[in-house]
Structure 1
Amino acid sequence: MKWLGALLILAASTWMGMAAARALYERPRQLRQLKAALRAFEAEVMYGHTPLAEASQHIARQTAAPIGELFAQFAAALHACETSVAEAWEKSLRAVWGKTALKQGEWEVMKQFGATLGQYDRLTQQQQIALALAHLEREEAEALDDQARYGKMAKSLGVLAGLLLVILLM
């Protein structure tokens, strides 16, 4: 019975370490998806002269979850015509943010980006998108650094913490 409990403790702690490492590996991937989605959004709005709601729907279909969900929620909020563009963007961010591996820095960048949506002419909007992309580049570099620095450590720490618990409880 002791050994079964020890195996369960070891398995649970290993799983927790793997989950922490997965979050570290997901963040750079989601940042790349977000940057690609913003570039596609820029192309739709600037060069295709597509309305924001339609452009968001196109991006939602082209982008995997959870980033695609952000644009789908945004398009739905715009079609509902219940709020301003900035409020619809923030509402969409709040609805999807818990499903992402993104952090507070990315939240601030995306919130500021949403505050400028639909308020300026096309050239200024393009500059705002470029600014958001530059900030996301910086965040991606930080995420890749964190992944390299802490990814293996999180996995190992999960296993080692489980072994420590098992030894202490035996």
Structure 2
Amino acid sequence: MQWIGALLFIGTTTLIGFDISRKLNERPKQIRHMKNALQILEAEILYSQLPLQDVFATIAMQIPEPISSFFNQLDISLSQNNRDLYHVWTTHLDELMASSAFDANEGEILKQFGRTLGQHDFDQQQKHIHLTIKHLDRELDDARDNQYKYSKMAKSLGLLCGLFIVLLLI
């Protein structure tokens, strides 16, 4: 019975290590997807001049999860009620932060962008989009560095921590 518990404990810590590694690997992908979404947003605002609600629906169809569900929820919320865009943006951004591998830095960058969204003319909005993309580029470099440095280590540490604790207890 003791060995079954030890194996379960080692398996659990190993799964925790693999989960941390998965998040480290997903973060750069999701940052790239958000950058792509912002580039689509820029193109739709400048060239097709669609309302933001329609732009959000277009982005949701072109970008993979979990970013697409974020823009889809923005579209739905704006169509159901005419609340403040920033309030809707922050509400759904908090949900995105909980369901994605984004770090707090990306959340703050996107919250700041949400404050400016729909508040300026086309040129100013384009500048804010470019600024946000630049900030996300910086975070993407950081995410890649963390992925390279810590992904394999998280997997190994999950297993090794489980083994160490089991050996201490036996």
Q: What TM-score bracket applies, with the shorter chain setting the length?
A: over 0.9
| C-alpha deviation, 1:115, in angstroms | 0.6
Distance across 2 between alignment mates of 1:95 and 1:3:
40
Task: Provide the secondary structure at the position in 1 that maps to 2:55.
Answer: helix
CA deviations 1:38-72 (Å, max 9, x no partner) are 11111111111111000100111111111111111
2:137 partner letter: E
Distance across 1 between alignment mates of 2:134 and 2:128:
10
1:18 partner letter: F
Q: Which residue of 2 aligns with 1:63?
A: 63
Q: Which residue of 2 aligns with 1:51?
A: 51
Distance across 1 between alignment mates of 2:162 and 2:86:
46
The 5 Å alignment of 1:1-170 reads 1-170=1-170
Distance across 2 between alignment mates of 1:92 and 1:45:
21
Unmatched tracts of structure 2, length 5 or more: none
CA deviations 1:13-41 (Å, max 9, x no partner) are 11111011111111111001100111111
1:104 partner letter: A
| Percent identity (aligned) | 42
2:120 partner letter: Y
Unmatched tracts of structure 1, length 5 or more: none
Distance across 1 between alignment mates of 2:52 and 2:145:
34
User: RMSD between aligned alpha carbons?
Assistant: 1.1
Distance across 2 between alignment mates of 1:102 and 1:18:
17
| C-alpha deviation, 1:82, in angstroms | 3.1
Q: What is the TM-score normalised by the length of structure 1?
A: 0.96
Deviates more, 1:69-78 or 1:52-61: 69-78
Task: Provide the secondary structure at the position in 2 that maps to 1:98.
Answer: helix
Distance across 2 between alignment mates of 1:26 and 1:93:
17
Q: Which runs of 4+ in 1 moved over 2 A?
A: none
| C-alpha deviation, 1:163, in angstroms | 0.7
